[in-house]
Structure 1
Amino acid sequence: MLRLIDQTLGKWLRHVFFAIVRTYFALFYNVSCSGKHLLQDTPGALILATHVSRFDGPLIAAILYTTQRIRPVVHYNEYYNWIQWFPMFVARAIPVSSPKTWTPERRQAQKEASMQRILRALEREESVLLFPAGHTRQQEPEVIAPHLSGAYDILQTNPDRPVLLLRLDGLGKFQPARYDYFWTFLGIRKGRRHISVDIKTVCALDPSTDLAAFNNTLEAMLNTPIRDAF
């Protein structure tokens, strides 16, 4: 029943949300996206993204909505926030982690259930969006805490899964803010803020290594400037 609702009413609601969010970003941000065709050619990809601001999720959803079905992975507390729950539910976001007040057994069960939902989505060729750092940047470089293992666990379970790296530039607190002149006809000097979205295929992540080495490699990739190839 949930699948039927998702494919009917859910699809209409996602179109409405897309129109609202895309209009907002078109008015206040000048967004360019490179490598979008890679996503279109790679169904069921694991997308690993930098997390530079609280607008990352809506921006990525708006930019990639017409390219492929994206299932974002979000923290449990974000998913069940009463303000955010409905759009998260409509987007079919996958909640991960759990409250620290839960028993270890309950937390482990929640972790396994979340992993199964992610793997099932990938098997249906729905791309899964994951922020490996787990939260927005508190400093200039992207930092992945040693205990965070989301991408590592997914690729250990399914090592042949295609991986795409998505990096955002120009949106975060620690990134340069540049503007166009879109609003000058109203006498406003600063127009829309320039944002670059860069998508690349990743082949260098090896889930057979230990977690620390895996996270160090991924962290270096996320911190590579968009202008530089790797």
Structure 2
Amino acid sequence: MVTRLSEDAWWIELGGVNAYLVDDEGALTLVDAGMPWHGGRLLDAVVEAGFAPDDLDRVLITHYDLDHVGGLARLDGLDVTMYAGRRDAPLVAGRERPPFSIPKGAFQRLVGPLVTPPETEVVPLADGDAVGSFTAYETPGHTPGHVAYVSEALGIAILGDLVRESDGHLDPSSWIISADTDDVRRSIRDLGEAAPAFDVAAPGHGVPFERGGRDRLTDLAGRL
């Protein structure tokens, strides 16, 4: 299902996990790619939003987890550039395996055979790097290399699994699915201080907010 969030952004609901499509001043941008079996639905969603798959220019990846990178291989053959945080990019590209030294590393290795790395090069991003109108913010905690993407020009923040929507408000990534919950809380507070104003808050799970996104993130940071 595709829902328009703003003039330039669409929510792609993939059955428990979200992807997003953004027309970033003419550069059509997909954020995250769902499960391995979601690849076809992603391309159908691009068409439903009024574009063709070949219109895709780039893919922004918030983090390495099965439900966010599983559909990337379905995009092979399209002329896109893929980006991920510098610490998760080698995992997304298949050059490295998740470490056993973090709590969720063993699970990521267990489901690793379900993930086919994309043939497309994955460009690593550091904190503060710009991709189009988006700025990448390193927000470790859910995974060591998790990043959020904020576009002040478009008024949207793609928050990945740093937070999730629950009962109409934002909650932090829970301990059972996080690499480090202390880092999660620290990243939420840091992003709440550093990010510019935005209306749309787009989490990886749950219902995105079309208005008041920055205030909701600030409220969450104040509750931690």
Range of TM-score over shorter length: 0.3 to 0.5
Q: TM-score, normalized by length of structure 1?
A: 0.32
Higher relative contact order (CA 8 A, sep 6+): 1
Structure number with bigger Rg = 1
More helix by share: 1
